[in-house]
Amino acid sequence: MDIVFISELEIQTVIGVFDWERKIRQTVSIDLEMETDITQAGRLDDLQYTLDYKSITKRIIEFVEASHFLLIESLAEGIAHLLRDEFNITWLKLRLSKPGAIRSAKTVGVIIERGQRA
């Protein structure tokens, strides 16, 4: 199987457990790998046979901007669930980070894999 990926997608959202975090929008960064078979898309040069990363990106942005999760773990699960349901993705690997969350670290975050690889 093949991988379609999106890298360093930055989105503003309400995220965090502290009261001050609930009053502002912060940046989260998403790296995403999605398994699919691109053989027919490559052979026929036709978008219908692959994952449309523009549509996927637009949907992720809509979801994240409207969300108000406390934990990045919950946000990651929400994104994974949405992608698997709405885009019929059987396996994905999602890296969600929150730059600047810890003063002495560039970023912190989680990496999750959901579904079964072919």
Could you list the active site residues? 98
Closest CA to 36 of 48, 20, 44: 48
Residues paired with residue 92 on neighbouring β-strands, in sequence order: 34, 114
Q: Residue 93 and residue 33: Cα distance in Å, rounded?
A: 5
Q: What end-to-end distance do the CA atoms of the chain give, in Å?
A: 7
Q: Residue 29 and residue 34: Cα distance in Å, rounded?
A: 17
